[in-house]
Amino acid sequence: MAYNRSKELRRLVDQWVEQSDEWFRTEDIWRQYNVLTTDGKEVVWQRLKELVETKLIEKSGMRYRHIDSDMDEVDVFQEAHFVSIHYPFPFEELFRMSEKSVMVVAGGSDAGKTALLLNIAYQNMDDWEVHFFNSETGVALLQERLLGLGNLPNPLPFKIWERMDNFADVIRPAALNIIDYLDMDSEVYMVGAEIKKILKALNKGVAIIGLQKPSGRDLGYGGAFSLKKAEVYLSMDSNKLKIIKAKSRVNPKVNPVNKQWSFQLDDTGSKFIKIQEVWGD
């Protein structure tokens, strides 16, 4: 194997380990970086062995895990709050979000994910510093959707940014950050790690993250990795929304999980209408 290729493979292994948030196998790295030759597989295995010896990763059977020794001491007497966020659905009666937390909105194609995220930005623009990170919607369609929500001053009372990736680098720590949407291309295994980075970038603020999802499934691309760090997780299909996860209940006796609503979007694709709670799938 050429020296440059060997050096590049070692760098890719280090990158994988640094970004990994779960147990993984050697085969996962081979598959991701298209390592097909015996020499290439040997380089990956050897680098993992070195990282185990230097205690950067641990090995259990055929699996490896990045050792993350970073910790922040928690002061349970510090001033901490739940935050107030308004929604087009009756979520405020069911769950709360805390400071420094993440909500994931997983939606299929044309399921209303962007409409929900824009509604949240619109309904909270007077109470929050809102930053909307747009990765997919063109200016003309975005303008149409926003004007469909109601009268908006010029300039807008919240910021819309064009951003495709590395969202953790631009998160406003104390603001309401809305990401439409987090796209890891083929590297869906990195969704959990990216959400974790976004969470770490927050202080008193919140991030609401849109994810694409396969039709008929509750979880977005990345599966359980996308669920792990979310305080709230919503799943959307055409004309249906479901709560998958909600850590803090407004009423301890009312469990929001698995509650569902049917809805329609108005002619502009902006406003949610005919919202009704439904039971079961």
CATH number of the domain where residue 166 is located: 3.40.50.300
Residue 94: closest CA among 220, 268, 252:
252
- The model's confidence at residue 74, banded by pLDDT at 50, 70 and 90, is low
**258 Cβ contact list (under 8 Å, min separation 6):** 242, 243, 244
Q: For residue 281, is pLDDT > 60?
A: no
Using one digit for the tens of pLDDT, what is the confidence trace for 210-257?
A: 999 988 899 998 888 788 899 999 999 989 999 999 999 999 999 999
Roughly what angle, to the nearest 10 degrees, separates helices 3-19 and 38-53? 50
**204 contacts 175 by C-beta, under 8 angstroms:** no
Using one digit for the tens of pLDDT, what is the confidence trace for 131-180?
A: 999 987 788 888 888 889 888 888 888 999 999 888 999 999 999 999 99
Using one digit for the tens of pLDDT, what is the confidence trace for 17-41?
A: 887 777 889 998 998 888 999 999 9
Encoded tokens for 174: 């104390």
Residues 59 and 99 in one domain: no
Q: Which domain holds residue 39?
A: 3-66
What is the C-alpha to C-alpha distance for residues 68 and 248, in angstroms, rounded to an integer?
27
Q: Is residue 30 assigned to a domain?
A: yes
Q: Dmax over Cα atoms in the chain, in whole Å?
A: 64
Residues 151 and 228 in one domain: yes
pLDDT of residue 72: 62
What is the C-alpha to C-alpha distance for residues 186 and 190, in angstroms, rounded to an integer?
9
Residue 247: closest CA among 120, 76, 94:
94
The domain tally of the chain equals: 2
Residues 23 and 151 in one domain: no
Residues 95 and 61 in one domain: no
Q: For residue 88, is pLDDT > 60?
A: yes
pLDDT of residue 141: 84
pLDDT of residue 184: 72
Residues 167 and 202 in one domain: yes
What is the C-alpha to C-alpha distance for residues 130 and 175, in angstroms, rounded to an integer?
6
DSSP-derived pairing of the beta strands 95-98 and 82-83: antiparallel
Using one digit for the tens of pLDDT, what is the confidence trace for 100-123?
A: 999 999 998 889 999 999 999 999
Residues 113 and 52 in one domain: no
What is the C-alpha to C-alpha distance for residues 235 and 257, in angstroms, rounded to an integer?
11
Using one digit for the tens of pLDDT, what is the confidence trace for 267-277?
A: 988 999 999 99
CATH number of the domain where residue 48 is located: 1.10.10.10
Residue type, 92: E
- The model's confidence at residue 51, banded by pLDDT at 50, 70 and 90, is very high
What is the C-alpha to C-alpha distance for residues 22 and 6, in angstroms, rounded to an integer?
25
Residues 101 and 195 in one domain: yes
- The model's confidence at residue 5, banded by pLDDT at 50, 70 and 90, is confident
